[in-house]
Amino acid sequence: MFDVLFTYPKIRARHQTAAGAAERERYLTHCASQGLARETLLRIARELLVVAERLDVTGGNQITRREVEAAARNWVRHQRRRGRTGRGEWSRRLFMQVATDWLRFLELLAPPPGGPRNAHSDQLDDFVAYLSDERGLSPRTVSQRRWQVEHFLRHVPSGKASIADMTVDDVDAFLDSKGRDGWCRVSIATSAAALRSFFRHAEMRRWCSSGIAAAIDAPRLFKEEGLSRGPNWVDVQRLLAGTGGDEPRNTRDHAILMLFAIYGLRSGEVRGLRLEDLDWTAELMMVERPKQRRTQYYPLVASVGDAIVRYLQGVRPRCTSREVFVTLKAPFRPLSAGGMYHAVASRLNALGIQTGNHGPHSLRHACAAHLVEAGLSLKEIGDHLGHRGAHATRTYAKVDLAGLREVAAFDLGGLS
């Protein structure tokens, strides 16, 4: 990598013979594979040389953030003595950023002292392993439940250092406080479900007294109490039309929006779509359904296929990522959940489209409502959306206002 970046032999030799040369070259090769520009690679390479002179990575020992900060301050002082910097804040930040990224890549960055681990970390790890290995829950669900439990444990009075000291009153006090903080009923019920799961596990492990899980109460949620919230189909068509033109972001987002609107895919399903999931010969698209733990095949609609091809051939950057949708600027990486949300919400807001939900799920609702209006059965709609059972699809029957009006206008004759 040094041969590619540096033209002058003396400069190249300096980088090749300085401390941590092999580790620096590995990291620069990794950065280049992520699509970073040459100027960016040069800046990182120069800063890595400074970092490697002040932090020893050759022994394989982990380096703490405090050591990185101390090395950064020493570097700034060195520059000041030579009159190369003023306050030195920019130099310190660059040193910290490059050093922590490099150490994280080498897996040599030590966790912060007193960081995420605490008195309950071992129990939380055991709980997470149970959810993942024995229950088989998805990583997203496991992560959400861990967050809910951690949030509760931070709220518990400091005098109760052990799970054995906790009672259902502590759980009730926590849920009540969340209600006062503005959490909605669904969020409180979700938290209660996570805590119920945790305390069932704690009872099984004999970490606490029995009966806590069964006593945890939550706001009552009524089945299908709300209508599905999404834009009407006319607005969906406006949304798709608004991503015309040759601008790279429009080209990419047009393909994304079509997958949401026409197939009713979830955000994670679009983010997880890989290049090998598109069978252009058979005109099929393979979608991994994490919630159902199965793979579903869809015929590749011509308009959607054309939109994806246009994006792949004209916009998608060359990178090592196998995901279809990636960022447009280096470092190139799969598009995040926030990126997917922004692709939908920003355009809905720009067009002034009023809808209860502004994220990707709103287009999933719009797709389902459109299929109801087209006369498809709930079973057909459920199969299209990847529902496990008809109960998940029944709520969409309530948005078929034309059908409901026909029922209301039905003449019962002399039976009334």
Q: Look at residues 229, 227, 231 and name the one whose alpha carbon lies nearest to residue 352.
A: 231
The answer to whether 249 and 335 have CB atoms below 8 angstroms apart is no
Catalytic residue from among 15, 364, 365, 370: 364
The pLDDT of residue 395 is 60
Residues of the chain with CATH 1.10.443.10: 233-405
What is the model's pTM?
0.62
C-alpha span between 255 and 264 (Å, rounded): 13
Tens of pLDDT, residue by residue over 55-64, are: 888 777 788 8
pLDDT at 276 over 90: yes
Predicted confidence band of residue 400 (pLDDT cuts 50, 70, 90): low
Tens of pLDDT, residue by residue over 279-335, are: 999 999 998 876 666 788 889 889 999 999 999 999 999 888 899 999 988 878 888
Residue 361 appears among annotated catalytic residues: yes
Catalytic residue from among 15, 145, 254, 266: 266
Residue 115: Cβ within 10 Å count: 10
Residue 396 appears among annotated catalytic residues: yes
Tens of pLDDT, residue by residue over 176-225, are: 988 888 888 888 999 999 999 999 999 999 998 889 999 998 887 665 55
Residues of the chain with CATH 1.10.150.130: 121-215
Q: Tell me the DSSP string of 164-197.
A: GG--HHHHHHHHHHHHHTT--HHHHHHHHHHHHH
Catalytic residue from among 201, 289, 361, 370: 361
CATH of 121-215, one of 3.40.50.720, 3.40.50.11540, 1.10.150.130, 3.20.20.300: 1.10.150.130
Catalytic residue from among 12, 151, 155, 291: 291
Instruction: Taking the CA atoms of 44, 45, 51 and 55 in sequence, report the sign of the dihedral they define.
Output: positive
The pLDDT of residue 404 is 45
Residue range 233-405 in CATH 1.10.443.10 = yes
Amino acid at 302: A
The pLDDT of residue 254 is 94
Residue 364 appears among annotated catalytic residues: yes
Tens of pLDDT, residue by residue over 3-27, are: 889 888 899 899 988 888 989 999 9
Sheet holding 278-279, edge to edge: 278-279, 284-289, 294-299
Sort 385 into a burial class: Cβ within 10 Å, 0-12 / 13-18 / 19+.
buried
Predicted confidence band of residue 48 (pLDDT cuts 50, 70, 90): very high
C-alpha span between 93 and 76 (Å, rounded): 10
